[in-house]
Amino acid sequence: MSTAVESSFFSRLPNVPLNAEAWEAVATGSMTEIPLLGNVSAGMPIEACIDHEHVTVPTSLVRRNTYALRVRGDSMIECDIFDGDIIIIEKTESAENGETAVVMINNREVTLKKLYIEKNGVRLQPANQSMQPIYLKNGDVQVLGLVMGVARRPAQAA
């Protein structure tokens, strides 16, 4: 099943911290279908479950191991990622300090947060001042990918 998304597309600017200024609009020319694997929480972590849908995005946002997730929650609003957005993820198993990553917690819950490796473990930091970070031991967190782009329906545009 393919999900038609009439959206505005945004690409993450290279070497810019992920915040509201980190995005540039992407022209829709050549389009490619990628798997939409389900939802990711931008709030409290949610149980990981895989859907078998697809979404069409600009080819310029697609790399070798690219997939998409639908955002649920508002913990990343200060990075200009909102509830209902579809994020384009580059699959990777590592992240640099401060990068916005999709992470799995305890092999079952998935969330979207800024990742910080600290002396006593890992801090998953929301980009929403009204929310508290999540602190975990190093072995409790697995990086699944980094945010490379966003698809937003026009009604959601900020």
In this structure, how many other beta carbons lie within 10 angstroms of the beta carbon of residue 31? 13
Q: Is 130 a catalytic residue?
A: no
Task: Say which of 2, 11, 41, 75 is annotated catalytic.
Answer: 75
Distance (Å, whole) CA 62 – CA 78: 24
Q: Is 7 a catalytic residue?
A: no
Tokens of 115: 């990742």
Helices and strands (H and E) in the chain: how many: 0, 13
Tokens of 73: 């929650």
Residues 6 or more apart whose CB falls under 8 angstroms from that of 123 comprise: 115, 116, 133, 134, 135
Determine the 3-state secondary structure of 108 from DSSP.
Answer: coil
Task: Say which of 8, 11, 41, 113 is annotated catalytic.
Answer: 113
CB 75, CB 43: distance < 8 Å: yes
Distance (Å, whole) CA 153 – CA 140: 34
**Catalytic residues, which ones?**
75, 113
